[in-house]
Amino acid sequence: MKITYIESSRIFKIDTLQNSYCIGITDEERFLTHVYYGSSVSDDDLTYLLRTDENPFAPSKNARDRGSFLDCCPMEYPGNGVGDYRESAVSVEDSNGNSAVQFYYTGHRIMEGKKKLEGLPATFGEEDKSATLEIDLEDPVLQLQVTLSYCIFEDSDAIMRSARLRNASDAPLYLTKVMSLSLDMDQKDFSLLTLHGSWARERQMDYRTIGYGRQSVSSVRGESSHQEHPFIGLVSESATQESGSVYGIHFVYSGNFLAQVEKNQFDSLRVSMGIHPENFRYRLMPGETFQTPEAVMVYSENGLGGMSRIFHDLYRNHLIRSPYKDRKRPILINNWEATYFDFDTDKLIAIAKQAKEDGIEMLVMDDGWFGHRNDDNTSLGDWKVNEEKLRGGLGHLVDEVNRIGLKFGIWFEPEMISPDSDLYRAHPEWAIAVPGRIPCRMRNQYVLDLSRQDVRDYVYESVAVILRSTNIAYVKWDMNRQLSDLGSAFLDRENQGELCHRYMLGVYELQERLVTEFPQLLLENCSGGGARFDPGMLYYSPQIWCSDDTDAIERLSIQEGTALLFPLSTMGAHVSDCPNHTVGRSTPFETRGNVALAGTFGYELDITRIPEADRAQIPGQVALYHKYNDLVRSGDYYRIASYRENHYYDCYGVISKDKTEALITCVQVMGRPNVHSRRICVPGLDPKKRYRIEGTDQILHGDTLMHAGLQMKAMWGDFQSELIHLIAE
Ligand code: DGJ
């Protein structure tokens, strides 16, 4: 890890474990330019790559013809409306209504450590094991200053970027676009990789050719969303799972985003990532600053798998803060798919008793315990226990569950308000709405205006009072609709364009307060399944509910897309009943368990009513969780085969960091006639070590398993699965 400034060539060089990132400053104009990002390079003077010499139009040489230079020069943080027609990083409305902005280098600092981003989730590291480069830029006309931050950690190949803008003028400025990152590079042979989805079908991998013009994924839904994910990957044509060039850029933010790549007339690429400019207009008063969220850049020469493992380690070591992050999570049973809204104390206690007998460790009471919520039309905001359902109150239920020997967890949806609620009747102005318009209902609810301190305080106290009242070990924080009808009764005309961002800051503030007051709480984020499964939320909760689709086969591609970026320890995964409530498919109980073992592991079914043959398998699955979870949580993830590509079977492995143990999961999705056994090559082992295949007498060297492979037995029928455990001798 090293950050240097080479005075003679005016080059900044950021060196991580295996990569270099270089930024230059042009001769006379002092534009900040992008020079190089990729595998480590030894030379310091890379100015020859800037193309200023080959370009007769460089402004220092031919001031008259600045335009042709600006439109092709690789800029590190491009301005707007002054001759660079590619995507700008910033757009500003000044007091005359103009939007032009152009930045020039004014100074820099190289420091130990990494600063916190005020009010925002961000990666963190120890002072002497991290380093930061801050580069100052200024638009002298607007007197708008920008500080670009580049942070690195000793043990990681990721580079974290963000920007801080300061209005140094004496008039207000309106930011209408502020990207966290802009990255220029030549197009080689990259395809664009993104994650798309829908409710119950989150984070599906999608490749496309990069054509001329702009291609993006985004969200203007007020959440990172089911539909598109704040990630962009550039994947070289020749890249495989374990070799070849891959760039991955991920946004540590949970609200509106834009992630875009633009291919221009010279076959150069510009990647942009930041808060989506739509509905964004942020007033910056004289002296005020605006901090962008953080974007994480990863480059790997070791294919997609190499990229995934860099993200996984980064998030495990430098983003998740929970005391649970390195701990086994209690195996939970959640009553949502078991009972939906139809439950009472007796029902929950019956589930808890049977769950205890089978080795489950925590009961989670989901939606429907408050107000008069017997369906999803009512009561959000009225966080008072429904004593008709929970006779004797919440404390009584929790005591009983604890007496049975289980921890207790509870569901909230703190950001929402039902039109049919005492809260809405008292405070209709607390809902996000545009005056004169009836706001659009989704799941028959509105969103609370979390830009308001009074609303945040109410919401916080509603949750905290319950948590203070009894022994609650876990909270599932849900969010079941997107933002619309953007209007706040609290913000004035000048600040309305800040609502979505202030909403997000409000959510972060609430969760920060929660984990500060209840440091031992296990918090699981959720958003109608996995609509807010993003690095921002991971800063507050070590796990996030992956999807409302609990079908083991659907989960294969959802979990594959999620594990492209997120460690397995973060993926909420449960065994549910069949036929599956979302897709109607029936799969063997064993396969449901094997697939859920790749995540946090739990159950989402009525354990008192499922077939005895299924229930009888639970103690065995619980034992597998205890046996493998340390490995699954902390090991290196390898994607071996993808059902998404071969339409036939799925296979992935987790290998311990010291390479003494591996767990391979193989799921045969489609049975085939006349099949023979299949060879599975296991990457990532120690070639010299000898591994015993558990349950057999076979011992093989790592290199044999890596190159010649394992012989997996032929499986008969659909939806079969197998776990293979390798242990070094
Ligand atoms: C959506 C979640 O994803 C489900 O698990 C469940 O908690 C429901 N909301 C409850 O309304």
Which residue in 474, 487, 497 sits closest to 408, CA to CA? 474
From the CB of 526, is ligand 1 less than 6 Å away? yes
Question: Considering just the CA atoms, what is the radius of gyration of the chain in Å?
Answer: 27
DSSP, residue by residue, 462-497: HHHHHHHHS---EEEE---S---S---SSS-GGGGG
SS3 625: helix
pLDDT digits (tens, 9 = 90+) for 589-600: 999 999 999 999
Topology of the domain comprising 330-629: TIM Barrel (3.20.20)
CA-based end-to-end distance of the chain: 35
DSSP state of 153: E
pLDDT of residue 32: 96
Residue with tokens 């970027």: 161
pLDDT of residue 591: 98
pLDDT digits (tens, 9 = 90+) for 344-392: 999 999 999 999 999 999 999 999 999 999 999 999 999 999 999 999 9
pLDDT of residue 54: 66
- How far, in Å, CA of 298 to CA of 288, rounded? 31
Beta bridge partners of 4: 13
Q: Are 243 and 251 in contact (CB under 8 A)?
A: no
Query: What CATH number matches the domain at 2-318, 2.30.29.30, 1.10.340.30, 2.40.50.140, 2.70.98.60?
Result: 2.70.98.60
Q: And the tokens for 91? A: 């757009």
From the CB of 301, is ligand 1 less than 6 Å away? no
pLDDT of 57 strictly over 70: no
Q: And the tokens for 451? A: 């830009």
DSSP, residue by residue, 526-559: -BTTBTT-SHHHHTT-SEEE--S---HHHHHHHH
- How far, in Å, CA of 44 to CA of 3, rounded? 12
604: phi then psi, degrees, rounded to nearest 5: -145, 65
CA angle (301 as vertex; 319, 303 as ends), nearest 5: 80
Best residue among 223, 480, 533, 574 to mutate for probing ligand 1, ranked by most atoms within 8 Å of CB: 480
Please, which pLDDT band fits residue 68 given cuts at 50, 70 and 90?
Answer: confident
Ligand 1 centre from 545 Cα, in Å? 9
From the CB of 29, is ligand 1 less than 6 Å away? no
Whole-model pTM: value is: 0.98
The domain locations on the chain are: 2-318, 330-629, 643-728
From the CB of 529, is ligand 1 less than 6 Å away? yes
Please, which pLDDT band fits residue 49 given cuts at 50, 70 and 90?
Answer: confident
Instruction: Give mean pLDDT, residues 242-254.
Output: 98
Q: Are 97 and 174 in contact (CB under 8 A)?
A: no
From the CB of 411, is ligand 1 less than 6 Å away? yes
Catalytic residue set: 478, 548
Ligand 1 centre from 468 Cα, in Å? 23
Ligand 1 centre from 443 Cα, in Å? 11
pLDDT of 716 strictly over 90: no
SS3 509: helix
Ligand 1 centre from 546 Cα, in Å? 11
Instruction: Give mean pLDDT, residues 28-53.
Output: 89
Please, which pLDDT band fits residue 86 given cuts at 50, 70 and 90?
Answer: very high
Residue 398: CB atoms within 10 Å: 23
Residues in the chain: 729
Beta bridge partners of 721: 667
Please, which pLDDT band fits residue 678 given cuts at 50, 70 and 90?
Answer: confident
Dihedral sign from CA coordinates of 423, 366, 474, 470: positive
Instruction: Give mean pLDDT, residues 299-315.
Output: 98
Question: Do β-strands 294-300 and 173-186 pair in parallel, antiparallel, or remain unpaired?
Answer: unpaired
pLDDT of 706 strictly over 80: yes
Ligand 1 centre from 337 Cα, in Å? 9
Q: And the tokens for 586? A: 């029936």
- How far, in Å, CA of 399 to CA of 363, rounded? 12
DSSP state of 708: I
pLDDT of residue 2: 97
Instruction: Give mean pLDDT, residues 104-108.
Output: 98
Please, which pLDDT band fits residue 675 given cuts at 50, 70 and 90?
Answer: confident
Instruction: Give mean pLDDT, residues 189-208.
Output: 98
Nearest protein CA to atom 9 of ligand 1, as residue:
528
- The CB-side HSE value for 482 (13 A sphere, CA atoms) comes to 16
pLDDT of residue 47: 84
- How far, in Å, CA of 514 to CA of 541, rounded? 11
From the CB of 478, is ligand 1 less than 6 Å away? yes
Best residue among 548, 558, 576, 605 to mutate for probing ligand 1, ranked by most atoms within 8 Å of CB: 548
pLDDT of residue 191: 98
pLDDT of 24 strictly over 80: yes
pLDDT of 64 strictly over 70: no
Q: And the tokens for 579? A: 């036929």
Instruction: Give mean pLDDT, residues 513-526.
Output: 98
From the CB of 151, is ligand 1 less than 6 Å away? no
pLDDT of residue 56: 61
Which atom of ligand 1 lies closest to the CA of 526?
3
- How far, in Å, CA of 194 to CA of 206, rounded? 5
pLDDT of 60 strictly over 90: no
Q: And the tokens for 705? A: 């398993």
Nearest protein CA to atom 1 of ligand 1, as residue:
528
pLDDT of 63 strictly over 90: no
pLDDT of 53 strictly over 80: no
- Percent helix, strand and coil across the chain, each rounded to 5? 25, 30, 45
From the CB of 480, is ligand 1 less than 6 Å away? yes
pLDDT of 55 strictly over 70: no
pLDDT of 51 strictly over 80: no
Residue 291 CB burial class (10 angstroms; 0-12, 13-18, ≥19):
buried
From the CB of 369, is ligand 1 less than 6 Å away? no
DSSP, residue by residue, 444-464: TBEEB-TTSHHHHHHHHHHHH
Task: Tell me the CATH number for domain 643-728.
Answer: 2.60.40.1180
CA angle (543 as vertex; 250, 295 as ends), nearest 5: 15
Mean pLDDT of the chain: 96
DSSP state of 58: -
